Amino acid sequence: MYKKVSTDMNFVGREKEVEAFWKEHDIFQKSMEEKEGCPEYTFYDGPPTANGKPHIGHVLTRVIKDMIPRYRTMKGYKVPRKAGWDTHGLPVELEVEKLLGLDGKDQIEGYGLEPFIDKCKESVWKYKGMWEDFSSTVGFWADMEHPYVTYDNNFIESEWWALKQIWDKKLLYKGFKIVPYCPRCGTPLSAQEVAQGYKDVKERSAIVRFKVKNEDAYILAWTTTPWTLPSNLALCVNPSETYVKVKAADGYVYYMAEALLNTVLGKLAEEGTPAYEVLETYVGKDLEYKEYEPLYQCAADSAEKQHKKAFYVTCDNYVTLTDGTGVVHIAPAFGEDDANVGRNYELPFVQLVDEKGDMAAETPFAGVFVKKADPMVLKDLDERGLLFDAPKFEHSYPHCWRCDTPLIYYARESWFIKMTAVKEDLIANNNTINWIPENIGKGRFGDWLENVQDWGISRNRYWGTPLNIWECECGHMHSIGSIAELKKMSDNCPDDIELHRPYIDDVTITCPECGKQMHRVPEVIDCWFDSGSMPFAQHHYPFENEDLFKQQFPADFISEAVDQTRGWFYSLLAISTLLFNKAPYKNVIVLGHVQDENGQKMSKSKGNAVDPFDALETYGADAIRWYFYSNSAPWLPNRFHGKAVVEGQRKFMGTLWNTYAFFVLYANIDGFDATKYTLEYDKLGVMDKWLLSKLNTLTKTVDEHLANYRIPESARALQDFVDDMSNWYVRRSRERFWAKGMEQDKINAYMTLYTALVTVSKVAAPMIPFMTEEIYQNLVKSVDASAPESIHLCDYPEVQNELIDEKLEADMDNVLKLVVMGRACRNASNIKNRQPIGQMFVKAGFDLPEFYQEIVADELNVKNVKFTDDVRDFTSYSFKPQLKTVGPKYGKMLGGIKAALDQLDGNAAMDEINETGSLKLDINGQEVTLFKEDLLIDTAQIEGYVSENDNGITVVLDTNLTEELLEEGFVREIISKIQTMRKEAGFEVMDKIKVTYKGSEKAEAVFAANGTQICSEVLAVSAEKAEPAGFVKEWKINGEAVFMGVEKEGR
């Protein structure tokens, strides 16, 4: 006996039991152990940070990253799945600052670096338990017992080895550059970090009057960062564009680009007075070295101290005429283009902003944060008559990806990895990767590589991998590549040295050049270098596990969200290219972001964020997994919608579960045990052979899709098969399961359905691991002690190609088409399926053997199905012009064409189209030729017949009903109503009953004439005309009143 199956949809409770079973029996561990010695398929897990809670987007990443390894395990691979934790960096520091009530670097250092680092170490494990529970609940299998942790000494030592390799290749350098800088965190950021923090903001720009020296004229220059104006040292024009000197209607003389005159000065025009008069015309180069008066004295004083010339016009091609005035202001300390101009013209270096982002004491805005200084600068210039305009504009501005502070571009000394030197290798290695979808690799990611910048690797922070460079006052620098090397060169390195600040800061080494003590530079490195080093650092390579690393590099598969194109996907490729000149992963599925049901980004502040734990508790893991697999391509934005999750659960999981429950119910009634029988193909009927053919086609199809990472396609194939199995095979075979005894036909039905349920469960196991485990345990393990302990220890089903019969599947597809079209005819004529119909005519490009015709007749409750080449006696055709094609060709004749089409003999016109491929019309003496694509063709109904036409197939139902047909329909309605009453009365499937009835003369006559048939269909021992007893109900059938009662026999 199989365990009785509840038909309720409480999947959550059952999933918890399965989860406990996996844990208790170490199923994940066994799935790894049993594949020892098998070929390896390597998966890298992008490490989350355990100091933040999981969100609903993590469910998507977890279920994709779980499903592919499960599938590959079933295909005979050993799939190592080492979990990892990303533990360094600003996110952790900010969390600890908040916890301790600190604000900024000064307060951190006042608190003490050592206790601060200890708190960071604690903080990274804050939600570890929550992440582990979350992963277990969602069915994500990974080795959580032995994870890699980026703050471990071994991990850091491997990174030091990598950095030393890069140093030895002369690709790690210190440079004074303009860097994106977070003044709140006091550290530069990398280009990939900057890319993650852009926000659309509305701000005021400034069009400023710069007074030309020794001339009553002004140069109009534009800037979007007014706070940089106190550091202005030059103006810049495009050397080859046209510039003009104009007398403006506001009384000033201006220099600016000719192309932008109307945009900037147009508003000065008044009736009868033009906005400006052109006095002279130049090319930009003519204005080079034209001097102007300093905007702010603080910049002039600073320039004078450096004995360098400033405050003149420079030229550079980067200046465009798309907006502004065609003249830009130059502050070399605050922009890459500005810095380049500064270098080219040997301008002085003036940086009147401190490292906290506050305006310097020398400025009139001392101590004010730069963004707050913007309106103050505008006000000051306006009061001095130097502000022409301050137009509002909206633009995308970078903010710190962690603390949300606006970034500034700031000149400072930083450490860089020369990615520009390996650009071609990066591109070549990227071209070896299978990106899913392809356009991300070629587009978004490929474009990023085409414009690659040197990687700003250093951070002026505390909690991170220390940069492994020691400096000597003699100028010599040395990179340490291992703890052993450090101890060899140092006389004060503790045996148990921890590779973190502040401990490593105290360790000095002896300078090989001059013999003095060298000190480590103060920076730590970008935490993206940590996660990008995981392919080798997780194994402590090259210090140990060399073979293991080589075996598991590169990864066969990785997957994360689309924002990782500039995060983990990039850092992995960058480091792998620098060290091994090889792509670190072969296949990558890029995931879209999970949005709310309206397509909006989820956020706590909007109140539209979905708690993943609530969602899992409400719907269950399998339902959410299935939703993400089947809803859309994984790389598209995914709208998370509870109703859609429930609908997917009902359509696929509910259908599979109910089919399984159906099998168990009848197998238990009959005492059927699948282990006692074999499936004998030669003894099977057509329906059985069809289902087994579809089953093996499914197994093959899903295997091909998953092998090529086509996830929605796999889900669709599974859903279609389960629908066919339940709503066609089981429905068509019900009476076989209800038959008495255990004849061969019944055994065939049981064995076919059993085989299909077990096989489809194995095929679906990687996707819905909980439900399939439950089905397997009951159908297989409960009756076969020698079977694998879990469905996840089974192999993926072997395809039995000899059972695939394409002709049989095609014939059944045609049957299903005819049934669908026949049902549409019934719906159109408002005739229920229980009402028999005399004739159905089919015109199609195929014929069906008698067996299939009988299925169509039975399904549609039709007495006779007739295939014919001519249905013109029952149907005609109507035609309308296809406006998209006919309109452009015939325009004004369209009305005439419509009228002519309305007058056609539909069948004759259809014959003409079939014979010649076109239809010729005479429109007011002019011949018009219309092809099939020019026409909207529909079937026209003839009274007494209803037809449907689709892709060359026409189905016609004869809706003329005889008295005999009407009576038979009445009987079927009575049977249906009694079956409903049995269910509502709570009777068991095999309970025998007694039926009592009374009603109209017609109803009683039908009962009396057909009592034997009615009793046989409803498991009744009698049907008597009497006062209804037991469970009683009144019905209206075909307009006739009927009272019926049902009660169990023997009451």
Residues annotated catalytic, as ranges: 47, 86, 528, 564, 568, 601, 604
Backbone angle region of 338, left / alpha / beta, with phi > 0 → left and psi within -120 to 50 → alpha: alpha
What CA–CA distance (Å, rounded) separates 306 from 339?
Answer: 17
What CA–CA distance (Å, rounded) separates 296 from 305?
Answer: 15
Residue matched to tokens 């202005």: 232
* Terminal C-alpha separation, the chain: 29
Q: What is the DSSP string of 534-571?
A: HHHHTTTTTTS-HHHHHHT-SEEEEEEEGGGGGTHHHH
Phi first, then psi, for residue 279 (nearest 5°) are -100, -45
Q: Which two tokens mark 48?
A: 């989350």
Q: 837, exposed or middle or buried, with CB in 10 Å at 0-12, 13-18, 19+?
A: buried
C-alpha atoms less than 13 angstroms from C-alpha of 313 in its C-beta half-sphere: 28
Q: Helix, strand or coil for residue 1006?
A: helix
What CA–CA distance (Å, rounded) separates 247 from 276?
Answer: 5
C-beta of residue 249 within 8 angstroms of C-beta of residue 270 = yes
Is there a cis peptide before residue 542, judged by omega within 30 degrees of 0? Answer: yes
What CA–CA distance (Å, rounded) separates 995 from 1014?
Answer: 10
How many residues are there in the chain?
1051
**H-helix or E-strand spanning residue 931:** strand 926-931
Pairing mode of beta strands 234-237, 313-315: parallel
Describe the crossing of helices 1001-1018 and 963-984 by its angle, rounded to 10 degrees.
60
Residues 6 or more apart in contact with residue 689 via CB below 8 angstroms: 681, 803, 805, 808
* 918-925 contacts, C-beta under 8 A, 24 or more apart: 919/879, 921/897, 923/893, 923/896, 923/897, 924/893, 924/896
C-beta of residue 511 within 8 angstroms of C-beta of residue 474 = yes
What CA–CA distance (Å, rounded) separates 1011 from 1023?
Answer: 6
Q: 822, exposed or middle or buried, with CB in 10 Å at 0-12, 13-18, 19+?
A: buried
Phi first, then psi, for residue 759 (nearest 5°) are -70, -45
What CA–CA distance (Å, rounded) separates 192 from 189?
Answer: 8
Task: Compute the CA torsion angle 21, 24, 28, 31 (nearest 10 deg).
Answer: -90
C-beta of residue 481 within 8 angstroms of C-beta of residue 160 = yes
Quote the strand ranges of 316-442, DSSP E: 327-330, 387-389, 392-398, 408-417, 434-436
Q: Which two tokens mark 990?
A: 């095999």
Question: Angle 272-278-279 (CA atoms, 0-180°, nearest 5)?
Answer: 125
Is there a cis peptide before residue 230, judged by omega within 30 degrees of 0? Answer: no
Describe the crossing of helices 612-619 and 56-74 by its angle, rounded to 10 degrees.
60
Residue ranges at the known binding site for ATP: 604
From residue 294, alpha-carbon distances to 192, 230, 616 in Å are: 37, 9, 64
Residue ranges at the known binding site: 604
Burial 194-228 (b: 16+ CB within 10 A, else e): bbbbeeeeebebbbbbbbbeeeebbbbbbbbbbbb
